[in-house]
Structures are given as structure tokens and as C-alpha cells.
A = this chain, B = another copy of it.
Amino acid sequence: MTASAHLPLGTHLLADLSGVDAAPLRDCAALESLLRQAAIEAGAQVLHGHFHSFGAEAGVTGVLLLAESHISIHTWPEAGFAAVDIFMCGAARPQVALDIISTALAARHRALHTARRAPPGQAIAG
């Protein structure tokens, strides 16, 4: 048995948030702060974060690497759109993180797809 942090069983939420005001989708520092808060509230451990602004009027692309996998966000302020991924293994609660992000961005529409990530059979000894 080896020492990966969690079993290879995870939930991956793909959330397409739309009807979002442009300003918060341009604010690189605020988005990083929001995702870090969401990760912590979800019970995840942040290993690394990097957020990149494409320019003062443009979007942001950013990611947090977690011991439980990752959270990413890619924003298009001109379209009021953000693509958010929350992939968490272990006991962390991805839906908690998504609710925090979605509420903070005041998204008027949310299209959510949930994927279960695991090897075939899923019954893997840790």
C-alpha cells in the first residue's frame, strides 16, 4: 500500500455560471481569495494556487491544486460567463465549494454536470 492522500474515488463538478456581472470576473485577486475560501470551507487542503489575468478588461484563468485534486476557474467578463471545475476526492465536499463560488458571483444561471471519477469497478483498496 502506498501513500497517496486519498482513494481514487472523486466527484468532479463542472459548473457553467452565466449571467454574472463583469467586474468580479475580472478581479484576479478576489477570485483567488474566493476559491481559497471555498476550498477551505469544503474541507480541502490547498497545495498551490496560480491565477492569471488576461488584462484589466479581460478574463482570469486560475487554479488551486488540492491534496484532494483541484478547483479551477476560467472567466469571460464580456459574456458574463465563468467555467468552474471542482474535483475533490476523500471527505471534502465539492458542492459546498460550488455553492460558495456561485453565490459570491451572483450567477443568474448555473448549468451543472457531475462526473464520478474512478477506476473501473471502483472498489480499490487504499
Contact = CB atoms under 8 A, between A and B. Distances in A.
Contacts of A102: none
B47 A52 contact: yes
A120 B109 contact: yes
A52 B78 contact: no
Nearest to A50: B48
**Identical copies of this chain, number:** 2
Interface in A25-51: 47-48, 50
A23 interface: no
Given A8-B81, A54-B5, A81-B8, A87 B69 contact: no
Contacts of A80: 119
Nearest to A55: B3
Interface of A: 1-5, 7-8, 10, 12, 14, 16, 18, 47-48, 50, 52, 54-55, 57-59, 61-63, 65-67, 69-70, 72, 74-81, 83, 85, 87, 89, 109, 111, 113, 115, 117-120, 124, 126
